[in-house]
Structure 1
Amino acid sequence: MAAPKNRSARLNRIASELNKKYDLDWQRSEHIDAEYDDARHQWSYGWTDGPTVEQVRRAARKMDREVTEDLVYRRELSQKTVALGAIRLAMAPTARRDARDRPSVTPSDVEELWRTVSKPRPRDAREEAMAAAIVSEANGDRGRNWASGYDLCRLVQEKGLAVFLRRAGVELTPIERLTDRYASSPASLAWSHQLVPMTALEAFSAVQADTNAKPQAVADALTLLPDLHAALDKAAADLQARLQDKTSAA
């Protein structure tokens, strides 16, 4: 089959329209570029983050089906987006585990996480700061954007998330500060790798048992009283219901 006429110009025109359609940021390298591979004799669209492959494919084919027939679509993920994905995967309750019972995070897992997500973004300033801290350490003194997806995921898997939460400079909640100070295994592993805090009762009891607890720890423990009262009230109600069931069955 003969190659479409003026393919380069037509593909570049479509790319320009797609960049406008999805409001892609040139400074973030989100913009879509048409590229030709001389060795493979193949045209492709490539971009970073931004819309999904399926979104771009559908929109491009709708604009010009002939010229996009054998087009290859490649969406790369920025370091920040890979780090963000690693954070989400590590914190997931259903995260896979490695031989040392740490959440297992791989670049392919991150790719799959974002596959159907358009323009991946942090949920809040805390998540954004954590991702930036991971990217910064992964690159070290080797220059900007040196680290690979593997480097980023390995850092999260080996060091956990708590260390990057602290480096991000965001303020911890009272229960998080107490967990960071008092958690012991296995609660320590859950906190350091997945940011799972201790229960209010565990944290309160830890401060109560520490006769040398600092004023900040005592103040943090006292903020947990409403949660403790609510938990005890629920536990008491559950026990009362169990007692009534057993009494009725007798």
Structure 2
Amino acid sequence: MAAPKNRSTRLNRIAGELNERHRLDWSRGEAIEAEYDDGRREWTYRWIDGPTVEQVRRAARKADREVTEGLLYRRTLSQRTVTLGAIRMAMDSATTLDFRDRPYITPSAVEELWRTVSKPQPRDDRESALVTAILTETNGDHGRNWAQDYDLCKLVQERGLVPFLRRAAADAGQPVELSPLERLTERYVSPRASGAWTHRLRTMTPLEAFSAVQADTAATPQAVADALTLLPELHAALDTAAAELQARVQSEEPAA
């Protein structure tokens, strides 16, 4: 089968249209580019983060089915996106645990997490600051983008999220603050539950935290103030529980 005429020009035109449509930034390496492998005689669209492979494939084929026949598609993930994926996996209860009860995180699992997600982004400033803290630690003194995907995933798996949450909260340039429940968990979490807190940011329940402060005769003013912020939530939970019990009693009452 003869190669399509002007294939390079046509592929670059489609890539340009897709870059404009998805507002991909050339300066950050996001833009879709057409690359040719002389040895394999294959054309590939490559880009970083941005739209999904399926989105680009579907749009490219719709634009020109002839010239995209046999075209390969390869989306790679930036350090920030890999780190964000590692954070999400660490906090997901469905993530498999390793032999030390830590979330087992691999680059391939992170790639699968984002496979159907276009332009992955942090949910808020706090998550963004956590990503930055992890990247700063991983790259160390080697410079930007030194760490590999494996390094990022391994760091989150081995160290957990709490050390980087502390780092982000301590950095005046990061808009991060621990919640009252998180501060109480830091202070009172039991050894048995400490792993879930360190690696997954699983806090104590409000009742557990409040009871811990109540039982601590040496509790700091900050801890007491944090515990008192939990009262509305505790009252609401007790009201809900009371209503459920009342409904159970009424359902069990014999008919007149």
What TM-score, normalized to structure 1?
0.94
CA positional deviation for 1:209: 1.8
3-state DSSP of counterpart to 2:45: strand
What runs of 5+ residues in structure 2 fail to find an aligned partner?
Answer: 170-175
- Cα-Cα RMSD: 1.6
CA distance in structure 1 between the partners assigned to 2:85 and 2:190 by the alignment: 27
What runs of 5+ residues in structure 1 fail to find an aligned partner?
Answer: none
**1:1-250 → structure 2 map (5 Å cutoff):** 1-169=1-169, 170-244=176-250, 248=254
> Which residue of 1 is the match for residue 173 of structure 2?
none
CA positional deviation for 1:2: 1.3
CA distance in structure 2 between the partners assigned to 1:236 and 1:188 by the alignment: 31
3-state DSSP of counterpart to 2:73: strand
User: Identity of paired residues, percent?
Assistant: 71
Q: How many residues align?
A: 249
3-state DSSP of counterpart to 1:75: strand
> Match of 2:154, as an amino acid?
R
CA distance in structure 2 between the partners assigned to 1:154 and 1:119 by the alignment: 23
> Match of 1:158, as an amino acid?
E
3-state DSSP of counterpart to 2:141: coil
CA deviations 1:127-172 (Å, max 9, x no partner) are 1111111111111111211111111111111111111111112101
CA deviations 1:55-110 (Å, max 9, x no partner) are 11111111111111111110000000001111111111222111111111111111
CA positional deviation for 1:27: 2.1
CA positional deviation for 1:28: 2.1
CA deviations 1:216-244 (Å, max 9, x no partner) are 11110111111222222333334444455
CA positional deviation for 1:245: 5.3
What TM-score, normalized to structure 2?
0.92
CA distance in structure 2 between the partners assigned to 1:175 and 1:225 by the alignment: 12
